[in-house]
Amino acid sequence: MKLTAEPPMDESSEVVKARRLGLGFWLPTGWMILIVGVALLAPVLPLKDPTDYFIRPGERPPYPPSADHWFGTDQDARDMFSRIISGARVSLAVGFMSVAMSFIVGGAIGMVAGLVRGWFDRLASFLFLVLLSFPGLVLVILIITLIDRSVLTISVTLAIAGIAPVGRLARAATMSFAEREFVIAARTLGARNSRILFRELLPNVVIPMGALVLLGVAAAIVAEGGLAFLGLSLEKGETWGKLIRNGAGSRVLRDSPWVAFGPITVMFLTLASINYIGDYLRDFFNVRETGLGR
């Protein structure tokens, strides 16, 4: 009996994969590994205390970058380098936590709505519509003025703002896959909804959602910055938004730009890296999906 020895497309798709992930992917990935690593390890790294005042007698801060203070100091003579890293801990935490929450909640609602349809779908769609129509900023301000301004509440608040767009994407992606024949085949075999959701739909829906995860992290980091400008970010501790705001006064900008440009540069590089990686991954997975045999 002659059987299929080797599927025809095997080798070629590996070649595609190898060519796809070039420098344009690894450079931003390297930056992300660096920034996340440093943020995680900050407590054990030999860094200066971000809250310490390094006042040099006879000199008025802010001090420009030097061997002692790589990114200079702020107006209170605190070390910008360690403050940026301390800010990274909060900004990245807010970014990833809020996205994780909005994807779990929005993704679950959207996927179930897209699969079961009916009244649940109508309710979910209505909820998404209300969330999208409600001015996000007002919602955020309302919540954080009513409760408190901790990392958790800010993350939850931003997560709520993210539920609707994530949920709608999850619903649309689920619906497009739920009509495919492989889902019908699973049903004729006797699969329950839960099995179809986790085995058939989730692995497919995760792909278009994956690129959005990274975009969401970037958006949350920016949103936190916006809150900082309104003076509504964390009450205690540093974030990139608060650092930038601190350096953004017109006199400070003119006389000592390093106070703002340090955090701006780091934030820009991080956001650009996240968006680049997102794009690369999306293209990469598109190839995997459409690179079909004859």
Partner 1 sequence: MTGRQAPLLSVRDLKVVFPTPIGMVHAVDGVSFDLEAGQSMGIVGESGSGKTVTAKTLMNLLPSYALVDGSVTFDGRDLRALSAERKSEKHLWGVEISMVFQDPMTSLNPVKKVGEQIAESLRYHLGETRTAARRQAGDLLEQVGIPEPGRRLDEYPHQLSGGLRQRVVIAAALACEPRILIADEPTTSLDVTVQKHILDLLDDLRAERGMSMILVTHDLGVVKGRTDEVMVMYAGRTMEEAPTEEIFSRQSHPYTEALMETIPKINSAGHTRLMPIPGQPPVTTSPPIGCPFADRCRYTTDRCVAQGPLLEALGDDHQVACHTPVGTPAAETALAANAARGHTATGLEIHHSGVPVGAVADGPAEQV
Partner 2 sequence: MAGRGTVQLRGGEDVILRVENLVQEFPVGRHRVVHAVSDVSFDLLKGETLGIVGESGCGKSTTARALVQLPPPTSGRVVLDPDSGNEVDLTGLSGNDLRDVRPRLQMIFQDPISSLNPRRRVRDIVSEGLEIWSDGGIGTEGQERVDEVLHAVGIDPAAAASHRPHQFSGGQCQRISIARALTVDPEILICDEPVSALDVSVQAKILNLLEDMKARYDLSLIFISHDLSVVRNVTDRVVVMYLGKICEVGDADRLYEAPAHPYTRALLASAPEPARSVGVADAVLGDDIPSPTEPPSGCRFRTRCPLAIEKCATEEPQMQQLDGDHFVACHLPRV
Question: Which residues contribute to the site for partner 2 (CB under 8 A)?
Answer: 1-10, 13, 180-182, 184-192, 195, 199-200, 203-204, 207, 288-289, 291-294
Among 2, 60, 192, 254, binds partner 1 (CB under 8 A): 2
Q: What angle separates helix 23-41 from helix 258-290, to the nearest 10 degrees?
A: 130
Concatenated DSSP letters for 145-172?
A: HHS---HHHHHHHHHHHHHHHHHHHHHH
Q: Comparing C-alpha atoms, which of 111, 102, 107 is closest to residue 161?
A: 102
Minimal distance in Å, beta carbon 121 to partner 2?
A: 15
- Our CB check for partner 1 shows the closer of 7 and 46 to be 7
Minimal distance in Å, beta carbon 127 to partner 2?
A: 24
The amino acid at 75: Q
Q: What angle separates helix 136-146 from helix 202-229, to the nearest 10 degrees?
A: 70
- Our CB check for partner 1 shows the closer of 18 and 138 to be 18
Minimal distance in Å, beta carbon 290 to partner 1?
A: 13
- Our CB check for partner 1 shows the closer of 5 and 23 to be 5
Among 1, 138, 146, 189, binds partner 1 (CB under 8 A): 1
The three-class DSSP label of residue 47 is coil
Minimal distance in Å, beta carbon 33 to partner 1?
A: 27
Instruction: List the structure tokens of 268.
Output: 């820009």
Q: Beta strands of 126-272 (E only): which ranges?
A: none
Instruction: List the structure tokens of 235.
Output: 């009450």
Q: Is 23 in the site for partner 1 (CB under 8 A)?
A: no
Residues found near partner 1 in the complex (CB under 8 A): 1-5, 8, 12, 15-16, 19, 294
